[in-house]
Amino acid sequence: MINVTKTFLPPINEYIEYLEKIWESNWITNQGPLSEELESRLKDFLNVDNLLLVSNGTIALQLAIKALALKGEIITTPYSYVATTNSILWENCTPVFCDIENKTFCIDADLIESKITDNTSAIMATHVYGFPCDVEKIKSVADKHNLKIIYDGAHAFGVKFKNESLLNFGDISTVSFHATKLFHTIEGGAVICKDEKISEKIFLYRAFGHLDDEYYSVGINGRTSEFNAAMGLCNLPRINDFILERKNINLLYRDSLSGTGLEFPSVPEGIEYNYSYFPVLFKSESMMFEMKNKLLENGINARRYFYPSLNKLPYLNTESCPVSERTASRVLCLPVFNGLSSANIKFVSEIIKNNILS
Ligand SMILES: *Cc1c(COP(=O)(O)O)cnc(C)c1O
């Protein structure tokens, strides 16, 4: 089976070297030396001031909402993984969906203002597939209305906008280091904050709100372990190779699928992209299903990222977002992962080409 993604595992000996360090120190969790080292290396790599490792990308979003003390309505994107919406609901806020724009799949910054009410406290948007939201326009709307900004940057690791990490925008950006993402620590994630004070708050929240015998605030368990950090330390030095390899996968798909009439988004200009996903849009939902099944018959598991449009979640009752719904109904993400062979990319493309008109 060629899956939509496949977890990269480093040579086992590299991981064992870290395991030996863990056995030597007998320190396996609670922000040990490897977690400290990974945090510090990630700060250097992303060139950000405040970064905290956490146990996953979802708790990162929840900590962000909590630390900014958000209440009431949060304007958010319907086109993302369900964790984005769920974290808003979990923190007892109300998601207000703002439709996306066609080209980047990200929240349509021109529509945000029309969604603002007296109860709006923040904007929470996703850099979908690593394509940047219109961070400048969103900032100007937020500043005008005194709103906070959280970016779900789960796909944005390694993306640069104007020579700066995309994760350095917004009051807080979060990222996921889950095994399915471009850079992973098995499970994991991080919170990147502009404000030192907010970062200190999240530092406490991450570990039950206390330092030794001093109890400062409520908190939760959001920490990572030394085993997770060790995986990150093995993978981080490879990140530029990962991105280059995925760029070549992206180019080969583009080349092999040209002339099929399929829509696939072009990489926005002026950014350094991470090539983390390869979404294709079919003309209709039925054509998408037909192709998904054809691919499955041939041992290829393409996935509906993202479906459903989150405003259509069965436990919500919200107004429609036509662009997001139309996109979600006919999108498929093709396999992209480090180690995917050219032969397999051509195989996937051939199946699509041979079945696109039937
Ligand atoms: C993967 C993902 C998350 C959740 O991250 P976890 O580490 O799995 O909790 C959140 N948002 C988006 C957009 C994602 O793709």
Q: What is the pLDDT of residues 81-111, one digit of tens each?
A: 999 999 999 999 999 999 999 999 999 999 9
CA–centroid distance, residue 152 to ligand 1 (Å): 8
| Mean pLDDT across 253-270 | 91
Delimit the domains of the chain by residue range: 2-237, 238-357
Q: How does pLDDT run across 139-195, given as a tens digit for each residue?
A: 999 999 999 999 999 999 999 999 999 999 999 999 999 999 999 999 999 999 999
Query: In 3D, which of 162, 134, 175, 165 has the Cα closest to residue 271?
Result: 162
Q: How does pLDDT run across 180-198, given as a tens digit for each residue?
A: 999 999 999 999 999 999 9
CA–centroid distance, residue 350 to ligand 1 (Å): 31
CA–centroid distance, residue 51 to ligand 1 (Å): 17
> What is the reported pLDDT for 284?
95
Gap between the Cα atoms of 198 and 65, Å rounded: 11
Measured by CA distance, the residue closest to atom 5 of ligand 1 is: 57
CA–centroid distance, residue 81 to ligand 1 (Å): 6
Measured CA to CA in angstroms, residue 230 lies from 35, 54, 226 at distances of 8, 14, 6
Instruction: For ligand 1, pick from 176, 184, 304 the residue to mutate: most ligand atoms within 8 Å of CB.
Output: 176
Tally Cβ neighbours within 10 Å of residue 300: 21
Helix, coil or strand: residue 59: helix
> What is the reported pLDDT for 202?
98
* 176 CA closest ligand 1 atom index: 7
Measured by CA distance, the residue closest to atom 10 of ligand 1 is: 83
* 84 CA closest ligand 1 atom index: 11
CA–centroid distance, residue 336 to ligand 1 (Å): 17
| DSSP one-letter string for 227-296 | HHHHHHHHHGGGHHHHHHHHHHHHHHHHHHTTTS--B-PPPPTTEE-----EEEE-SSHHHHHHHHHHHH
> What is the reported pLDDT for 3?
96
Kindly list the protein residues whose Cβ atom lies closer than 6 A to any atom of ligand 1: 56-58, 80-81, 83-84, 126, 152, 154-155, 176, 178, 189
CA–centroid distance, residue 307 to ligand 1 (Å): 14
* High-pLDDT (> 90) share of the chain, %: 96
Domain range 2-237, its CATH number among 3.30.460.10, 3.40.640.10, 3.40.630.30, 2.60.40.740: 3.40.640.10
Q: Top-level CATH class of 238-357?
A: alpha beta
CA–centroid distance, residue 232 to ligand 1 (Å): 17
> What is the reported pLDDT for 60?
98
Asked whether residue 251 carries a pLDDT value surpassing 90, the answer given is yes
